[in-house]
Amino acid sequence: MNLGSTVFSQLIAFLPDREFRRCVGRYRGDSRPRGFSCWDQFLCMAFAQFTYRESLRDIEACLRSSPDKLYHMGIRGRVSRSTLADANESHDWRIFADFAQILIARARLLYANDSFGAELQLSAYALDSTTIDLCLAMFPWARFRERKGAVKMHTLIDLHGNIPVFVCVTDGKVHDVNILDQIAPEAGAFYVMDRGYLDFERLYRLTLAAAFFVTRTKENVLLQRRYSHPVDRTSGVKSDHTVVLTAPGSFKHYPAALRRIRYFDSEHQLFLVFLTNNFELPALTIADLYRSRWQVELFFKWIKQHLRIKVFLGTSPNAVKTQIWIAISIYVLVAIIKKQLSLSASLYQILQVVSVTIFERTPILQALQLQHAGEKSDPFFNQMNLFDL
């Protein structure tokens, strides 16, 4: 790294700027000269994510306090609240979504061999959504309830590295199960979901695509046992059955056999019943797969706590989606840097160090080196129950 570059510049050097220009050209983002390009916008919003800025005034004040550093940061336009607000409203959010997907593809290659708790070498994904509350008076398009506004961030993460591979931002009224219509199933991959995604017509599409799912059943789902398989009850698995749906409507949507596994979580004294279309993996591995679903919940909590996606710098759908996708890009960028530089620090620690050294002209490896080997890691990953109720 260039010893004369700021930490921010060294971080941005990991970004494929040529690919970013292609994304801009695809949506004609810079077709109307405004003196403030999409790249300027991305860098300013990235700075806001790295340094926990909460408003456009905050971003303007911080960046304009060091005008000699802006050029070296790559920012060529004049930074002001009005230009940044206009960019967030007018530059197509799909530019930043497409660029995030480029970073995601790179990160997935780096983390492809990382384990995630279950003894499984195949691709495995966890699907869930999180709700981000909004003021209905300021975001009237994001109606959630009669007097409440919200957007939902539907996310599919690759459990090998906890990298988000699919993100869809909708208003709060969109039901989670509808997102299954937008996901292209990957043959041979496992999709782990909670009971909110229990829709047999949509799940059968996964089966037809040679993909596997693991979910939990509901009490009102009528199933008839066809075969019983031997289990080791000391492992927590209480039964392993091949079943079929008996309700006419459900059987019409899912005419194939299913596998029902009853599992007892001794830590929380809970009986859990899983449904899957995979008949090859051991029953305990299926239970471990569902346990890994909690990683998507941890991802949501991490990104809400450490990045700026709860306070938005614009009120239009375009501005909200732009900010969310740039936040995801920063999360993935930090994950890429951690892996490429073989850092022992957690993503949380990397962000904390960057936030206070961003203008320093220090080699990035030196800046991110942990000063205390016993320093506590991100406390976030040691919390929560394994299974939701």
Strands 258-265 and 237-245: antiparallel
pLDDT of residue 323: 96
Higher pLDDT: 2 or 141? It is 141
* CA atoms within 13 A of residue 210's CA, in its CB half-sphere: 3
List helix spans (H) across 112-240.
200-208
pLDDT band at 165 (very low <50, low <70, confident <90, very high): very high
pLDDT of residue 119: 66
> Domains in the chain, please, with CATH?
7-96+325-382 (no CATH), 199-279 (2.20.25)
pLDDT band at 118 (very low <50, low <70, confident <90, very high): low
Q: Please count the helices (runs of H) and the strands (runs of E) in the chain.
A: 14, 10
349 is written with which tokens?
A: 């620690």
Cα–Cα distances in angstroms (integers) from residue 283 to residues 121, 197, 215, 249, 290, in the given order: 16, 21, 13, 28, 11
Closest Cα partner for 109 from 166, 156, 158, 168? 158
In one letter, which amino acid is 52?
Answer: Y
pLDDT of residue 68: 75
